[in-house]
Amino acid sequence: MDLNFNKNEDHNKLLLSELKQKFAKVKLGGGEKRIAKLHSEGKMTARERIAYLLDENSENIEIGGFAGEGMYKEHGGCPSGGVVVKIGYIKGKQCIVVANDATVKAGAWFPITGKKNLRAQEIAIENRLPIIYLVDSAGVYLPMQDEIFPDKEHFGRIFRNNAQMSSMGITQIAAVMGSCVAGGAYLPIMSDEALIVDKTGSIFLAGSYLVKAAIGETIDNETLGGATTHCEISGVTDYKAKDDKDALDKIKNIVDKIGDFDKAGYSRIKAEKPALDPKDIYGILPKARTEQYDMMEIINRLVDNSEFEAYKEGYGQSLITGYARIDGWAVGIIANQRKVVKTKKGEMQFGGVIYSDSADKATRFIANCNQKKIPLVFLQDVTGFMVGSKSEHGGIIKDGAKMVNAVSNSVVPKFTVIVGNSYGAGNYAMCGKAYDPRLIFAWPSAELAVMGGTQAAKVLAQIEASSLKAKGEVVDEAKETELFNKIKARYDEQTSPYYAASRLWTDAIIDPLDTRKWISMGIEAANHAPIQKPFNLGVIQV
């Protein structure tokens, strides 16, 4: 291996170490003291509940682990959005599990909590996955109620989705394992079946203090809305459990009886490991986001047997398109090329830029994958579409629009891996979050922004310098440098993969070596949901 490989490897392994350290802290939720308090009450933590519920030694992936990272500092923070979401297996059946983390503000709902719960329901709806709710929440976080309560994508949308999923035949099971108050009380009762844990679970629209204030009635919370009340008097819940484990065992037994699902029919054969070592990815991926590398070297370490059937290999070479298998599943891959390539037009350095011919090729390839019912995988390291008079006169906007149209109207499941840059309209064309990928996840090397930090900082610094000059202030070279550095530091923070993950622009930041697992489990989930409509590009300019 050359020196550059070793430098890249060291850099990317440091990024991975940082990821593991950050996630270890996130997994503590509200902290060790609050975890100990929960245990003293005879309750398990959200992560312990999920671990017990999922099949032992089975694969699982976590959605939105970094949700809320660095947000709400004035309110004490909201690690992992105050809710843990995982896709895994219960009695061999793939399910999505949503568990409130009572160590984070008693499981109260922050704005990001609502967004994360809606994302979990979206995954269940798109893939027809059974969804399990482990409820332990104090309800809406009142100091921020105006950001979580009334809008279309706020708290109330959860219950609307409960109703729609029920009508779609998507299994929903809820276990009330702690507080379940006010509007939040509707979530378990709008599920197909509801369990409640004796002495620790409670459901009511208003607690004993509010009841006393509202109507003058004196009553304790257990009598008002405990397990005995709702299992033997109101009939609100279907099962009473003696403790957390008993409730989780009952859920396992219920899931075990669910019948098989109609399959979408995506092609899968026996999985093969890549012939080339996936660990080489750490050394291939450059330390700097502006450096060149061959994306095919990455692809060959992700796909089964390192076998890839290129589509239009010699045409539109700034995008790689072709067929492969990942963990046995057939996939169509669209990836940005970052190396210098010799073409009939001469030597071209692509650097992740999409040209007209590449966009045209990708549009055709997407149509082919839809025709053949092959899921799409996008490997993003894109700086945008080519600019300049030659590109504009050649119709780059028209060709880019065709590609965006194809991505938007694709009916096969799409999966997006942000390997490096994800800038501007390139993010859109390569199936960014706005284009409904079933899963979208980033490597620690990822950057998401409307443009790169250096370019953006130069533009913004020029604007600010002009504004200061217009006010009569002296702006010398030192001042311009100060402005640039200040703006770039702020912009670089916003391009971080953690900034994106905290706001759920991505579902996760992962070790590159986990990419195959994420795509495989994603396609398995998508296979639960047969395609309901034909692929149609609509009106496009040819």
pLDDT 10s digits, 134-165: 999 988 888 999 998 888 889 899 999 999 99
Burial class (CB in 10 A: 0-12, 13-18, 19+), 146: exposed
Q: What are phi and psi of 168, to 5 degrees?
A: -85, -5
Mean pLDDT estimate for the chain:
92
How would residue 292 be classed by pLDDT, with cut points 50, 70 and 90? very high
How far, in Å, CA of 346 to CA of 524, rounded?
43
- pLDDT attached to residue 124: 98
Q: How confident is the model at residue 281 (pLDDT cuts 50, 70, 90)?
A: very high
pLDDT of residue 345: 67
Predicted confidence (pLDDT) at residue 348 exceeds the cutoff of 80: no
pLDDT-wise least confident of 40-44, 48-52, 383-387:
383-387
pLDDT of residue 397: 86
pLDDT in tens, 98-112: 999 999 999 999 999
Instruction: Please give the Cα distance from 387 to 385 (Å, whole number).
Output: 6
C-alpha dihedral, 192 to 197 to 199 to 201, nearest 10°: -50
Check if the beta carbon of residue 455 is closer than 8 Å to that of residue 408: no
**What is the band of 346 on the pLDDT scale with cuts at 50, 70, 90?**
low
Predicted confidence (pLDDT) at residue 69 exceeds the cutoff of 80: yes
| Amino acid found at 446 | A
Residue 387 confidence (pLDDT): 79
pLDDT of residue 521: 98
pLDDT at 266 over 80: yes
Three-state SS for 412?
Answer: coil
Answer whether 378's CB lies under 8 Å from 430's CB. yes
pLDDT of amino acid 344: 67
Both tokens of 205, joined, read 């629209």
The mean pLDDT value for 14-43 works out to 96
